[in-house]
Amino acid sequence: MKTITKMFTALGLAVALFAAPAHASGGGQKNAEDYDFSFEGPFGKFDRAQLQRGWQVFKEVCSNCHSLKYIRFRNLTEPGGPELPVEAVKKIAAEYEISGEVNDEGEPITRPGRLSDAIPAPYPNEQAAKAANNNALPPDLSLIVKAREGWYYPWYISPFIKLFKGNGGAEYVRSLIAGYEDPPHGEEKEGLNYNPYFPGHWIAMPPPLAGEDVEYADGTKPTLIQEATDVAAFLAWASMPKMEERKRVGLMTLLYLGVFALLMLMVKKSLWSRVEH
Amino acid sequence: MTTKVENADVSRRDFLYIATGAVGAVGTALAIWPFIDQMNPDASVLALASTEFDLAPLEEGQGVTIKWRGKPVFIRHRTPKEIEEAKKTPLAELKDPIARNLNLPPDAEATDENRVKDANGKVNEKYLVQIGICTHLGCVPLGEQGDYDGWFCPCHGSHYDSAGRIRKGPAPRNLDIPPYKYTSDTVIVIG
Amino acid sequence: MSGHSTYEFKNPIARWVDERLPILSVVRGQLVDFPTPRNLNYWWTFGGILATMLVIQILTGIVLVMHFTPHTSMAFDSVEHIMRDVNWGWLLRWMHANGASFFFIAVYIHIFRGLYYGSYKAPREILWMIGVIIFIAMMATAFMGYVLPWGQMSYWGAVVITNLFSAIPVVGDQIVQWLWGGFSVANPTLQRFFSLHYLLPFVLAALVFLHVWALHVTGNNNPDGIEVKSEQDTLPFHPYYTMKDLFAILVFLMVYAAFVFYSPWYLGHSINFAPANPLSTPAHIVPEWYFLPFYAMLRAIPDKLGGVIVMFSSLIILFFLPWLDTSKVKSLKYRPLARQFFWLLVIVCLVLGIAGAQPAQGAWLLVARLATAWYFIHFLVILPLLGFIEKPKPIPASISEAVLGKAKA
């Protein structure tokens, strides 16, 4: 048993050491501000009200430039997400015009959105999106929280931070949105904005939120940081809509494996106690 | 004395082995489930939109085939003659006396009226909406053919009448009526 | 040890089958009664763990293929479809992705266990060499698998690794075009990688069969490195080692499950959640962690062809290990000096792994060069010399003596 404890300590250490550099990265960015989202940790869940507020911010502000192509309207009603009522989402969907279909005469038509439709993109294609945004493509946000990292610690700390705090994608989004600053030394760059959290500091997106951009139905005060936090949580859900199910099944699996392993250990001991080894 | 202790030992050991084996078996069975369930229709398939269809452009005696959930759906504007024939066919002559209309209880009779009833109970006998899959082995029957002024399946020779009911041939059931409802006098939503 | 047992089955059906196809007596002889040294420690359970991981990878892989679309325009979307819509798709995908990492964790431990206890020495040279082939096949499989989701790191990993072949003089560019099926990594590349990624695991399974066959001809090595001399030295494989292996497999699976369920992309790269973009390379591209030591060697050499040669040599050299190590003693338990060099090699490999992830410049480049040099010195100089210099500790006469000696102490 001692050997095995030693073995797995070594194993864990080796994994951590190896994973370390894989995450390390340079560039002089500022670490995202740490924030304890409700969905962090092995038992963390999304805060429904927060996801609903975040969806409102996305819908009313972000979606003017950004698509969210892997989210379908029905996802907004599914368990583990914002869990909006089906009828309400049907109405929201119907407000959108879905194009891309043709009628019997072969002419392109539009129709009101349905639950099964993906949330329509603001621009018909990449070129149009670039042309409308100073030649910078607003990225799709469906996976943005998983695709971005928030921490820039040295390689020998980073793996441990990431093991406990994750990649910091949601924190990055939150800090970025609320973190625009005046550039140091009054420097200016054509069509770019200064943001210490952005890799390279100069970002094409102008500050998307200023506070009071939306009116929350639940009475939460829409300050800049509140909106940024809510939309970061919403986008975290959009990146990992199955997170709650994953953690739930994970807990059952680990408990099961633990019990089974313990029984196997007893079986093994009872067998080996009879022989010299 | 010693044998007794040994026996107790042995039975405790046996219990441990059996318990461990049982836990392992249950776990294996549970672990297999995701591998099976992944082949079931996924969320995007289940959520597939219902299909809307405007009946107004259909002229009398005209039928069209549209696709719903990947299956052909026959929509036919029946002629008065076809309706008349279907209505006067006694139930006793039918091979399958059940309506097979998913909008009705599973034991509804195969009257002509029951074949054209929507989910809200609305009856419009001019329009017959049915899934165009032969209940024998899944071929698509041909319209305006067969011995009963209805459909004929060329694969194995099943004849359906003008209400889509099986009359002759190997098919066991009437053509299925999909779930649908009228949203206005001439527009239906299937699914 | 070879051949099948002469066991007479009592069940008439079993006997009837076995007389016609002795599959039951082979199973009985090789997997039940198989005499196994009684002193194996937990490091020997990694063979069983590896077999388990191979099965998990093949099973999850087969079902993922039912939903994945190997086309550049749809690969990324189909992976997201698996993650979001397919029943249990997220579980199957994360099992497969993390399964690759844990497969490598197990194989590295298995390899270093072989190095420590001298499992590559006569009469197990072929067994070892098949193992090296398995390792190389695993790397090829993992590399092509990582390309399939068609994210940024998938794409640029494929570009960099396939470009290794352009270092070959004269025909290099021709070979790269042949690998790509075009003038860049594109749809033909993705489709052939998919085909091969599906094929190779079955080749792996066949190689594993040969590996086990070779093992069952010579029998297991053991922590004392003494060959089995009498029946006293052994225990039947079942139930002693089946149950011990099962326990170790479950503990390993717990660590694996912790990652699958709670940190499923910890071992991957965030940027791979951005779809492949052939027009823009991410700022910092690194291979998956299990390739990092080799990547460090590649970059340590300031010459393109030289780097490629050094990297592949680090694997090729392993084929010659049975003859490079001149010592007659197998287990490092009885080789105090070699033991120290072993741990130095472990550290050097870890350092190479870390260096492989750092930008190839400055101090890290120097570290990578020194570590690369030491890797080759270890195998080409230290191991051959040690056999002559080192004075091994006294070795017990037999396994049973070693075991009983321990029991007394």
Q: Do C3 and C39 fall into the same domain?
A: no
If asked whether residues A145 and A206 sit together in one domain, one would say yes
- Report if residue A262 sits inside a domain: yes
Please indicate whether, in this complex, the C-beta atoms of B23 and A114 are within 8 angstroms of each other: no
Q: Select from A114, A116, A260 the Cβ nearest to the Cβ of B27.
A: A260
Residues of chain C above pLDDT 70, percent? 97
Say if residues A192 and A50 touch (Cβ distance below 8 Å): no
Would A75 be classed as within a structural domain? no
**Active-site residues of B: which are they?**
156
- Taking the C-alpha atoms of residue A256 and residue A194, their distance in angstroms, rounded to an integer, is 51
| B10–chain A nearest CA distance, Å | 10
Task: Determine contact: C230 vs chain B, CB below 8 A.
Answer: no
Q: Which residues contact B88 (CB under 8 A, 6 or more apart)?
A: none
Q: In this predicted model, what pLDDT tens digit does every residue of B10-43 receive, in sequence order?
A: 788 899 999 999 999 999 999 999 999 999 999 9
CB contact under 8 A, A271 and C239: yes
Q: What does the pLDDT read at residue B51?
A: 81
Which of B 29-68 lie inside 8 A of C, CB atoms? 33-35, 37-40, 42-45
- A 10 A CB-CB count for C152 gives 23
Q: What ranges in chain B are assigned the alpha helix state H? A: 2-37, 43-46, 80-88, 112-115
For residue C8, name the pLDDT band (cuts at 50, 70, 90): confident
Indicate if C28 and C66 belong to the same structural domain. Answer: no
Check whether residue A170 and residue A62 sit in a common domain: yes
Question: pTM for the complete prediction?
Answer: 0.90
CB contact under 8 A, C265 and A253: no
What Å distances lie between residue B165 and B67, B74, B115, CA to CA?
21, 13, 9
Average pLDDT over residues C289-295: 96
State yes or no: pLDDT of C2 exceeds 50.
no
Q: Are residues A139 and A258 in the same domain?
A: no
Out of B20, B27, B48, the one facing A267 most closely (by C-beta) is: B20
Amino acid symbol at C34:
F
* Same domain flag for C19 and C118: no
Shortest Cα distance, chain C CAs vs residue B22, angstroms: 15
Give CA–CA dist A59/A61, Å, rounded: 6
Does A14 fall in a domain? no
C24 and C86 inside one domain: no
Whether pLDDT at A42 is above 90: yes
Asked whether residue A130 is assigned to any structural domain, the reply reads: yes
Residues of B in contact with C93 (CB under 8 A): none
Angle, CA B74 vertex, CA B72 and CA B79 arms, to 5°: 170
Q: What is the CATH number of the domain that holds C202?
A: 1.20.810.10
Domain count of chain A?
2
Are C254 and C399 in a shared domain? yes
Residue A137 is part of a domain; what is its CATH number? 1.10.760.10
Give chain C's length: 409
Nearest CA in chain A to B17: A267
| One domain, residues A49 and A161 | yes
| A79 within a domain of the structure (yes/no) | no
Residue C22 C-beta-side C-alpha neighbours within 13 Å: 11
Q: With cut-offs at 50, 70 and 90, classify the pLDDT of residue B70.
A: confident
Is pLDDT of A196 > 70? yes
Return the percentage of chain A with pLDDT > 90, whole number.
77
Q: Are residues C241 and C295 in the same domain?
A: yes
The answer on C22 and C67 residing in a single domain is no
Q: Do C66 and B44 touch (CB under 8 A)?
A: no
Total domains in the fold of chain C: 2
Cα–Cα distance for residue pair B114/B125, rounded to 1 Å: 9
pLDDT at residue B69 in the model: 86
Q: Which residue of B has its CA nearest to C78?
A: B44
In this structure, the answer to whether residues A169 and A235 fall within a common structural domain is yes
Q: Clarify whether residues C10 and C64 are in a common domain.
A: no
Closest Cα in chain B, distance from residue A256 (Å):
8
Q: Output the CA angle C97-C102-C108, nearest 5 degrees.
A: 135
Q: Is some CB atom of chain C closer than 8 A to the CB atom of A88?
A: no
Give the phi and the psi of residue C402 in degrees, each rounded to 5: -60, -40
> In chain A, which among 92-131 make CB contacts under 8 A with chain C?
none
On whether the CB atoms of residues C193 and C157 are closer than 8 A, the answer is no
Q: Please check whether residues C127 and C21 belong to one and the same domain.
A: no
Question: Does residue A163 sit in the same domain as residue A199?
Answer: yes
Strands, sheet with B127-131, edge to edge from the N-terminal-most edge strand: B63-68, B71-77, B127-131
Mean pLDDT, rounded, of chain B = 91
pLDDT band at C5 (very low <50, low <70, confident <90, very high): low
Q: Are residues C16 and C137 in the same domain?
A: no
Q: Which chains touch C (3 or more CB pairs under 8 A)?
A: A, B
A205 and A226 in a single domain? The answer is yes
Instruction: Find the residue in A nearest to B48 (Cα).
Output: A116
Assess whether C27 and C148 both reside in one domain.
no
Asked whether residue A222 falls in the same domain as residue A155, the answer is yes
pLDDT at A14 over 70: no
Burial of residue A139, with CB atoms counted within 10 A of its CB: 0-12 exposed, 13-18 middle, 19 or more buried: middle
Distance from C198 to chain B by nearest Cα, in Å? 18
Question: Do residues A256 and A196 share a domain?
Answer: no
Q: Does any CB of chain B come closer than 8 Å to the CB of residue C92?
A: yes
Q: List the domain range (segments joined by +) for residue C381.
A: 34-408
- For chain C, first and last CA: distance in Å? 32
Asked which of A147-156, A170-179, C245-254, C342-351 is least confident by mean pLDDT, the reply is A147-156
Same domain, yes or no: A264 and A158: no
Nearest chain B residue (CA) to A257: B27
Cα(B148)–Cα(B159) distance, rounded to whole angstroms? 7
A235 and A248 share a domain? no
Structure tokens at B132: 């165009």
Does A20 contact C258 at a Cβ distance shorter than 8 Å?
no
Q: Give pLDDT tens digits for C309-347.
A: 999 999 999 999 999 999 999 999 999 999 999 999 999
CB contact under 8 A, B27 and A256: yes
> What is the span of the domain harbouring residue A185?
32-67+121-239
Residue A10's pLDDT band, with cuts at 50, 70 and 90, is low
* Chosen from B6, B23, B38 to mutate, greatest number of chain A CBs within 10 A: B23
SS3 A69: strand
Domain match, A165 and A36 both: yes
Binning pLDDT at 50, 70 and 90, where does residue A1 land?
very low
Side-chain-facing half-sphere of A248: CA atoms under 13 Å:
9
Asked if residue C196 and residue C122 are part of one domain, the reply reads: yes
